[in-house]
Structure 1
């Protein structure tokens, strides 16, 4: 089994461990042996057991001293703030899931390798000098097995890139724009208080807050043919989870909604099976909570004009869906490594 350590036990770290135990194939392949977080063990256990967004953890849990037990498996809890002091060699770690959100450049991430880990999978966008940036279902088959540091991009990249790739392949995308309507996050304030940027100082539950985004750069890294063709913006809205993406594209071909939908349905049944879903119902954001797909296309919100201008609404659970793709990418990384060997 592949021995895994999770560095950072926040929203994505906890969701990834819970998702691993939900999927028998992942549980058979991966053994999480250590979790490192600066929080005390009691807090780590409590937050893993009780979740305001995804509900109570369904797996049997126990905690004693510095050990978390899940479904009978014991996991060592560490509280080391310095990457250079982590005991990955002693623990025989094959993979570190870097979920702290604190490290995104190779110079930092290499410390996991220097401490004895074989590979690092980063749960957020990283600098361009990592060995690969992967959106599962789009480019995971490009993995060779030689990669040591891999980024799993972002939740919003996983949401939009599969759709963009399918539409560009079949119709061509001349240009377009995306607005991310993202649930509030824990880097926002509960009440008005100081932050380094003015909008960030405001209470998250009271306002729609425009925020900076580098999504266009992330899309271009994965779909370089779309360089300089897309503009992106983002706002945070006062919901606890689930993100929507408002997508406007000028296609190169004059097609109709039925042709667009057929391409998406075909993708749903082929290369994006289990990753892309299509909703034909009049749903709202909470209905997509705890949804493991990368993206759900809202078929009720697709509109077009006669010149090929297309507008769509995409949904994703930015925590749960992304956690599943992180595990899928880990599996693909080690599958490629096995072939290499």
Structure 2
């Protein structure tokens, strides 16, 4: 997603769903991306510190599934290497820091508040003061206002009575994550997307970083697809893009059941904050500079190719492109594949439905309703297969359609990945 119009690169889709830091930094930084959740394992199977069902801290709010989302701010300076955040103890929540309070950052906080096993303890954004941070978090034109209590006073940001440390450092190495107890950092600026850039968070005391964007060299994980390959020795990882999170679970089911010989993907993608409201300069992507509300804009994307990184057996078998359309949220993947083993469309539907009710429940959905994009605003699943929208030319050549809330679904996957990593780390100790 490289250029200004949310052109997607490595495996994009959500990339660019953030706010425009590019303008605020005079072009030095790229735009902040803003970009359902896999059922949690039985609490009895989890480490005791990752189970806090009895914890009734104000930070947790009731979870509704699926429905629309019904301190000082001075620059932080710390020593070159700060003390690491302490490991969670029994019944303690997994503590998270967020760098970049754009679309993704704010929705990651909402997603975290809907759970009882994680807690956001610190936020860093050099361009947003605590009072404006509270306003942007409370009011959302797409997902609706946050229903809890959100306040800001005396340089502090508070949600449901719990204070969140706020910092305004442009240099990740200067953010004192360790002081706040943040073991995991969600890197959601869209700027520090390589291992080398993201690992500077470790100097402030963080132990692990999850990049909420595709990365050129960090290990990439998609929940429901390859998260089991995570190694606790990997300190910097990527959650891929929202489009890859939609495509990969669907491709996995099709390949495991029928084999994918080759395929092409198109994503019809909602507008994101990096696009222009009216025609404007975009030297790297001329079409991307055209008015987002007036046009359907063809764009590049690496989302399909990135599937080969999380499913190596599909490496080189998929590629694709994107169309940016003038809707605020929810996108849809069109996957056209040639099958290795012939199957009727009914057979394909049955395989996807089974997976959606079994191993991919909460990640992959299935519907036979006459749905449209607005019906998926606030749906936290990664990919919802539309059985009525697909079509087969014959038993070997088929078009499959799957919806995704490119903002809310992806943000939930970020939190899911953090929790999965925390469990793996605890198990390895």
Which TM-score tier does this pair reach, normalised by the shorter chain?
over 0.9
- Work out the CA distance in 1 between the residues paired with 2:162 and 2:233: 30
CA distance in 1, matches of 2:120, 2:353: 36
In terms of fraction of residues, the more strand-rich structure is: 1
Give the conservation status (yes or no) of the 8 Å contact 1:251–1:309: yes
1:140-188 Cα deviation digits (max 9, x unpaired): 1222322211111110011010010111011100111000111011111
Pick from 317, 322, 331 the counterpart of residue 410 of structure 2: 322
Question: Which residue, out of 249, 260, 264, partners 1:173?
Answer: 260
1:169-318 aligned within 5 A: 169-196=256-283, 197-318=285-406
Look up the SS of the partner of 1:291 in the other structure: coil
Counterpart secondary structure, 2:343: coil
Match runs of 1:1-341 below 5 Å: 1-23=93-115, 27=116, 29-37=117-125, 38-128=127-217, 130=218, 132-196=219-283, 197-341=285-429
- Runs of 4 or more above 3 Å deviation: none
Contact 1:144 1:340 in 2 (8 A): no
- 1:133 and 1:278 map into 2 onto residues whose CA distance is 25
Give SS of 1:14's match.
Answer: helix
Unaligned runs of 5+ in 2: 1-92
Partners of 2:396 and 2:155 in 1: CA distance: 59
Structure with higher RCO (Cα < 8 A, 6+ apart):
2
> 5+ unaligned residues in a row in structure 1: which ranges?
none
1:259-283 per-position Cα deviation (integer Å, ceiling 9, x unaligned): 1011111111111011111111111
The alignment partner of 1:225 has SS state of helix
Contact 1:146/1:340 (CA < 8 Å) preserved in 2? no
**In structure 1, what is the equivalent of residue 15 of structure 2?**
none
Deviations 1:35-64 (A, max 9, x none): 111212222111100000000111221111
* Alignment coverage as a number of residue pairs: 335
Shift of 1:194: 1.1
In 2: Cα distance, 1:212 partner to 1:176 partner: 16
TM-score by length of 2: 0.76
Q: CA contact under 8 A between 1:61 and 1:71: conserved in structure 2? A: yes
* 2:247/2:383 contact within 8 Å kept: yes
Q: Distance in 1 between matches of 2:394 and 2:297?
A: 34
Q: 2: CA distance between counterparts of 1:110 and 1:70?
A: 28
